[in-house]
Amino acid sequence: MKPMTQQDATLTVNELLAPYAARCEEDLDRLLVEPDTPEALAEAMRYCVLGAGKRLRPALVHMAAEAAGGGPEDLVARAAAAVELVHCYSMVHDDLPAMDDDTLRRGRPTAHARFGEAMAILVGDALLTRAFGILAGAGHPRSARLGAELAAGAGPAGMIAGQVADMALCKVPDGFEGTRFIHLRKTAALFRAAARMGAVCADASGAVIEAMGGYADYFGLAYQVRDDLLDVTGDAGIIGKTPGKDADAGKPTAASRLGLDGARKLGEELTEQAVAALPPLGATTETLARLARLLTHRIH
């Protein structure tokens, strides 16, 4: 068998994600804007959410729910949309001048470059609040558990801790452990919430929920290692942002710590650890395994 090229992997991952992304786009379009939202705010919310992004986190919610036996359609849709809104808000706030000061994201002006800084802060706040509103609005007995998972992943011991650490605003362990500390929180914590929420939607056992979280932790670490590699080797036109920015900012990455080959090897190891951590649900977890392996070879 011919080894898979990076281009092949990218095409295949996009094919794998396409049906989930299409469904998520519809759900976001339907759920994003509440009645009585001022039009200028609604427009900024749509700009920051609709029509862009791989929808990887919502796909994880759907795939985990399917692997664990499936959940109520509306509940899964809302869980997926809520996770994506948290991801979108985090990008809007991370891009702010006081944070990473980015003006380009997914090949388009960032929120503050487009709408001004005040609106960017407020639209981030709006997306975060709306995420919890969408979850709570399911009116399902498991809505609150989903809210607790999302808050844990996105909150001050999860994703926000990662951004605080990435901005050097708190202590982190020395050396590569510090990089891992940041990646586990800044990137993996929301993947973890997504995979666990999918399992909660399907009313899975505690053991299955835990195993899904373990998968997502390794998945998230592998994803970030790949992101670091693309930051060094990627093409701005393909990855949609300026390559070399992290390296220029002096941020320690897997690539700067381990070299390109070392980082590639680490990414592959983490991917296999993710697959090994999957709950023993038989063939139903194949899509999650396939996604993890494909993403290790993606080019954007």
Please report, as ranges, the residues that interact with a second copy according to CB under 8 A: 33-42, 45, 89, 93, 96, 98-99, 116-119, 121-122, 124-126, 128-130, 132-133, 135-141, 143-148, 150-152, 154-157, 160-161, 163-165, 167, 169-171
Minimum CB–partner distance for residue 49 and a second copy (Å): 12
Unique residue bearing structure tokens 């399911």: 138
Cα–Cα distance between 213 and 188 in angstroms, integer?
9
Please, which residue, 15 or 125, has the CB nearer to a second copy?
Answer: 125
SS3 content of the chain, % helix, strand, coil (to 5): 70, 0, 25
Shortest distance, position 140 Cβ to a second copy, whole Å: 7
Smallest CA-to-CA distance from 88 within 114, 104, 110 is with 110
Nearer Cβ to a second copy, position 35 or 237?
35
Least distance to a second copy, CB of residue 27, Å: 17
Q: Closest separation between CB of residue 132 and a second copy, Å?
A: 4
Nearer to a second copy among residue 68 and residue 75 (C-beta): 75
Give CA separation, 160 vs 99, 140, 176, 190, 216, in Å: 12, 27, 20, 10, 18
Nearer residue to a second copy within complex by CB, 74 or 268:
74
CB of 202 to a second copy, least distance (A): 18
* Minimum CB distance to a second copy smaller for 31 or for 292: 31
Cα distances (Å, whole numbers) of residue 93 to 6, 48, 122, 131: 31, 11, 9, 15
- Of the candidates 66, 59, 64, 63, the one whose C-alpha atom is nearest the C-alpha of residue 80 is 59
